[in-house]
Structure 1
Amino acid sequence: MDDRVVDQEQFALVTIQGICFRDQYYSCREALRERWYEKAMIRGWMITISKYNVHEDKLILRPNQNKPDIICSRIHDVEINTKNRDAYFTQMQQLKRMPRRKRQRKDRNKL
């Protein structure tokens, strides 16, 4: 296993497509739960990397000193055009904002 510890402070960029580091994209539960990608639509930001694992496609982030490290997994490349991807993310964010009952009712109406 090639578990490389970052000697110098390195950063990843949070974007609408994911967490970008060395031309690869990563994601994690915290980013989805805290709507990082939605916030990145307005303005992306840098986040500190504590270490990364090349063979397992893992990236470990250090959001700040008061929070534990976050383990992210690499998002494997999928051919999808930008327009469809952006529409997908927008729809997902709209669904997340809806109350649960309203979402269920809307899904039943489609059937």
Structure 2
Amino acid sequence: MTDGPGYDHTAPRYTLRLYVTGSTPRSTRAIENMRRICATHLDGRYDLEVIDIYQNPVAAVDQQIIAAPTLVKLLPLPLRRVVGDLSDTEKVLAGLEIQPHPLPPSA
């Protein structure tokens, strides 16, 4: 996807970490929502790491995660966080300072 038609080589690449708590319905929903948002709005310009804080509690302490699911945008700076199941796409995009993908023109 990174070399497809319309790919913008000057657009920033995003480094994202999603902290979840096991395979709960809320965690699963957050993962699905974030993958959909990335596929739709970041067009291959992202690295998404999912961290289960039950299996890696040190990672949560290092990033001062106090609620899960929590999405952390590490790059591009500034660092941003969004808490919740990420079902509100507009809130996630605004929180991460990502410009929404333009809608195709109507026929």
Whether TM-score is above 0.5 comes out as no
TM-score with structure 2 setting the length = 0.29
TM-score with structure 1 setting the length = 0.29
Greater strand percent: which structure?
1
Greater helix percent: which structure?
1
Larger radius of gyration: 1
